[in-house]
Structure 1
């Protein structure tokens, strides 16, 4: 029987089509930087795209469903074969999936010239294909423990469809049900999958250094945290500005801080590739506390949502992309000064955006946030381009 490694070695086409993370992580980085540059131009009064979405909704959609959609595709197409023992999607079928993602971006960009249904179908084609792929692999491999991931992927698809429906009705989808549901799914995915990879990677790194205190393994308490998380996110989606949501979000935030403290992140300062996972996950509880603050009138809701959007989703996805690319390219799991600078730039962007949301008069902070964001993802693309576009043996360690 052909193994995953043999199938990848037998591929003789472009190296970028040799594994799922390669095209999708590169597209995600390019889009994160490019879409932010276009967003800055839109804020300056330039009408760049003939899109049917208002500028704010385009910005929100293309980060949550566009950028994160590419990261999710790259992650699942790379991780699922490891979970199930199945063969990965490589070569021209992988190129076709990447083409579906590009099709969605193009359809939304020119959606003023398209019927809303055509735009929605073009944008939903990739997540639908991913759902079919994941369902097939779970059933074929009897890998039932990953059914929650499939359920969340289906919810993410529904959230995107709701966003398109709200846009077609002429409402403001940037503050609609679809966005909240999509964001809630993203936070739940980070809580679920991050709860596996952060302590696991940390344990491996600390064990190599003979540390005496290791992360606490997953237990019933973690299951309780995830249940509370789901309840708080459901309240956020249904009624974000209520006292019940504030109470549940506050409890969920504190429970995630407790969970994070058990993973020994304070011992990982010597390796940015590890501590960034803890920093990215930290924005999950901070986002819950910010939502609680917004629901009780202490913070603008838009500022609170950016803690999750830019912080949890942005930093955690960047951490996963940088680490997974190195690991699957066969390179040492180490982040040098340039990669560390990329992480710090994104943290600066998140903090600047949060402060700008609290004190709207500080326009300079918005420019700082956008510039740092572009620097972070632009830096990722420059550093990781040779890793994802060249054969494994020709890849070089980023500095």
Structure 2
């Protein structure tokens, strides 16, 4: 790569003298950065709300806003960054970059602003702006996915549409159009994320494990019947949970899905990757899925609080896999070695502490609840702050190998 033609750190001249800001050269750059910022800032804000009790009057309650923003802020930003990076690889097409990517980034930011409780934006306008992002992302991905002609890849467009429906349900309650939209909306949204993780995890975990440990003679085991049971049970659960009253049948379905995921994970033999943090963290993140589904099942079959299973999936599975994938992809797609630094490993461990504390908190004696919540929040913020320290420079600088992207 030739020397930069401008002193700005956000620009670099590549072989074709690309003057696109580095941040908008590839989809993972802005959205992995924003996901980390949102993860850090939203939980810090939530802890502050819990401590002070400050909240403005309005249709969006504090707990509903927290759930909405962790889902459609932090998680959706990570999903967008992953899909905008993976789809070009799957389809052999040019990645979204430049002004279109910048516009998509601004649209995500606008959604976060309009739903901020103190923004003062009228609710109908806030709904329109916030709902626009996922369809815009779908349009950006539709042409390459449909052109590739592979049904399993194009299915992500359906999942994005269902995520939009989940967001719509929440906004309809905030608008006063429906009486009960938040609970099914959040449940459906998290279910769609679980389905995405199930599909994507089934692709990348065995592949990365095979590539990382193949030289040691490691063989990843996968059984077609297990894959079918995993996908079928998870899809059935995603479609049933938002709309079916809880009970034994739903609990047993969750147990079946948990067992299928556990068998699937065992076949990948992730324990053999203990010497490679950037690899074992993926398996640790996936392990939270059967754990979370088991806790959710026990909620329907016994009297375990629902919050335990919910946060095992969100703070455990989703957050750990997001951190794992963002750290790995940020290195790999900027031409850097796939080696987790000590700062990154510390972030992995702190996030694990946060997930354990948050999952356990509703199961603890009442006098331990608030310390556990505070500890979980502090560990979470520290984990994503370390991620930003380690990876913001990576995301804001040109590739280390001089290639475009």
Instruction: Tell whether the structures are fold-level matches, with TM greater than 0.5.
Output: yes
CA contact (8 A) 1:20 1:78 kept: yes
CA RMSD of aligned residues (A): 2.1
- What's the CA shift for 1:293? 0.7
Tell me: CA distance 1:151–1:251, structure 2 relative to 1, closer, same or farther (3 Å).
same
> 1:217-236 residue pairs with structure 2 within 5 A?
217=222, 219-236=224-241
> What does 1:39-58 correspond to in 2, within 5 Å?
39-45=46-52, 47=54, 52-58=59-65
Q: In structure 2, what is the equivalent of residue 384 of structure 1?
A: 391
Where do 1:1-399 residues align within 5 Å? Answer: 10-45=17-52, 47=54, 52-110=59-117, 113-169=120-176, 176-207=183-214, 209-211=215-217, 213-217=218-222, 219-239=224-244, 241-359=246-364, 360-362=366-368, 363-393=370-400
Inter-CA distance 379–112: structure 2 relative to 1 (3 Å threshold): closer
Query: Contact 2:226 / 2:263 at 8 angstroms: preserved in 1?
Result: no
C-alpha distance after superposition, 1:230-273 (max 9, x if no partner) = 11232322225211110000011011100000001010000110
Using a 3 Å threshold, how does the CA distance of structure 1 residues 323 and 114 change in structure 2: closer, same or farther? same
Aligned to 1:392, the other structure's residue is in SS state coil
What CA distance in whole angstroms lies between the structure 1 residues aligned with 2:346 and 2:16? 33
Q: Would the aligned equivalents of 2:262 and 2:290 in 1 still touch at CA under 8 Å? A: yes
Rounded Cα–Cα distance in structure 2 between residues aligned with 1:24 and 1:310: 19
Q: Deviations over 1:317-368 (max 9, x none)?
A: 1111011101000111111221111001001001001111212431101000
**CA distance in structure 1 between the partners assigned to 2:51 and 2:205 by the alignment:** 39
1:140-172 Cα offsets, whole Å, 9 max, x none, are 222333122221111111111111112222857
State the Cα deviation string for residues 187-237 of structure 1 (Å, max 9, x = none): 111111111101110000011x332x3112462431222111111232322
8 Å contact from structure 1 (residues 326, 333) kept in 2:
yes
Task: Note if contact 1:111-1:119 (Cα within 8 Å) is conserved in structure 2.
Answer: no
The residue that corresponds to 1:3 in the other structure is none
Unaligned runs of 5+ in 2: 1-12
1:137, distance to aligned residue in structure 2 (A): 1.6
**CA distance change for structure 1 residues 323 and 240 in 2, over 3 Å: closer, same or farther?**
farther
Q: TM-score, normalised by structure 2?
A: 0.91
Aligned partners of 2:358 and 2:372 also within 8 Å = yes
Is the 2:226–2:260 Cα contact (8 Å) retained in structure 1? no
Measured in 1, the distance between the counterparts of 2:118 and 2:367 equals 33
TM-score, normalized by length of structure 1? 0.92
